[in-house]
Each structure stands twice: as C-alpha cells, then as structure tokens.
Amino acid sequence: MSLQDFIKKYTNVRVGNGECGTLVRQYWIEVDHTNPQSYPSSKDYWYNPVNGYDKVSTPQEGDIAIYDGHGTYTDGHSAIYVDGRVFEQNADPDGSPAHLYLRKNTYLLGYLRKQGAKMQPLTPAQVDHVLKMGLRREPTAEELNNPAYAASAALLIDTVWNNGGKQSYENRDQGFTPVTEQLYKKV
C-alpha cells in the first residue's frame, strides 16, 4: 500500500484506540511492512532505539515526526510527514480522527526514517531544471550519503550547481556526465 492509499483509507477514521501512536504503528504495518516494538509514549520512539529506523532531522514523505511532551501532554505526539504537513490523529483537537494537518514544529524532536529508504526521485520540474542548467560536477559520495540531501533532491542539485567549493570539471571531456546522462534518459 502506498502512503497516499493509506491516507485515503484512514482519513476521518479513528484507528485502533484513537491514540496517535496507533495510527503510526498501522502505517508501519501497512505501508512500511514492519512492526517495530511498541512504547507507551510517542516521545519514547525518539529516546529509545526503533528497530529498522534511523533518526533524521530533515524529513521526506513517509517519515515519522516525533514530538516531545509538554504541559499536560507528557507523552509527546507522533505523526506521518506528508509534503510539509502531517497525517495524524488525536491532536488538534484531542480525540480527533486521522487527518492531514499543517503542524508547527514546536516540540519537534525529529523524524524516523525506515532504514534503506532511498532519496525521493526528482520531480519532472527538477529534472527539467537540471537539464536546462547542466550540472557543473557530479555529487560526491559524502553528499549522496548526507541525510539532508537524501531528503531533498533540490538541495543536492543546488549544492552541486554551486559546486560546493570542492570540485571543478573545467578540464573534463565535453559531453554529459554520468549523472546528467542518467537524468536525461529519464525525461
């Protein structure tokens, strides 16, 4: 099942006992095909290891947002990141069914990403942008493995375009680089 199918299936539905973590665990089962251990509080997913997931600071679609507890909400909150918003239940207002919400990052601890998740593919607009400008160099291994770039192809492209101050291909043979050739073939 895709993230979009999951959202369509559960919008305006109270999943399980209606707690935020129940929706996240259902997502893990139906979309990520995993079943990590359960913790009593959502914030515990940040402070304890979650088998099969890495902590990241820059989100991409499908990552799990983890919020710290505060005030009378000592258990924290968890939700699924979706294009600048979150899919959540039991928040805003309390007891609410699953819905998309534009949540402030107040009390955000970070995001959990399934291990082995790949960088999201470039959008057609990003591919077009790359082909029009031509990359000045290829991404370094360090850049390709950086979680910030894994979450944002646009950020990686901007870094490569600005040359990152590390490499220059002034003496390189003319023609496509392997990266631009691969991007070109996708169009």
Cβ partners under 8 Å of residue 179, min gap 6 = 135, 138, 139
Where a domain ends, among 87, 114, 141? 114
Share above pLDDT 90 across residues of the chain, in percent, rounded to a whole number: 37
Cβ partners under 8 Å of residue 114, min gap 6 = 32, 34, 52, 53, 62
CA-based torsion, 96, 100, 105, 109: positive or negative: positive
Q: Are residues 77 and 102 in the same domain?
A: yes
Report the C-alpha gap between 162 and 74 in whole angstroms. 44
Write out the H or E segment, with its range, that includes residue 180: helix 178-186
Domain that holds residue 58: 3-114
Write out the H or E segment, with its range, that includes residue 82: strand 77-82
Q: Are residues 129 and 92 in the same domain?
A: no
Split at pLDDT 50, 70, 90, the class of 12 is very high
Judge whether 138 lies within some domain: yes
Judge whether 18 lies within some domain: yes
Where a domain ends, among 57, 91, 114? 114
Write out the H or E segment, with its range, that includes residue 88: strand 85-88
Amino acid (one-letter) located at 118: K
End-to-end CA distance of the chain: 27
Q: Go through 152-175 and write b for each residue having 16 or more CB atoms within 10 A of its CB, e for each that does not.
A: bbeebbebbeeeeeeeeeeeeeee
Averaged pLDDT for residues 53-82: 91
Q: Are residues 21 and 61 in the same domain?
A: yes
Tally of structural domains, the chain? 2
Judge whether 119 lies within some domain: no
Q: Are residues 75 and 102 in the same domain?
A: yes
Q: Are residues 67 and 33 in the same domain?
A: yes
Angle at 12 between CA 8 and CA 16, to 5 degrees: 95
Write out the H or E segment, with its range, that includes residue 182: helix 178-186
Q: At what angle do helices 20-27 and 3-10 cross, to 10 degrees?
A: 140
pLDDT digits (tens, 9 = 90+) for 81-134: 998 899 999 987 778 899 998 887 889 999 999 988 766 666 666 665 555 555
| Residues 76 and 113: beta-carbon distance below 8 Å | no
pLDDT at 99: 92
Where a domain ends, among 57, 79, 114? 114
Report the C-alpha gap between 152 and 120 in whole angstroms. 7
Structure tokens at 155: 């950020």
User: Is pLDDT at 66 greater than 80 in this prediction?
Assistant: yes
pLDDT digits (tens, 9 = 90+) for 141-158: 777 777 776 666 666 666
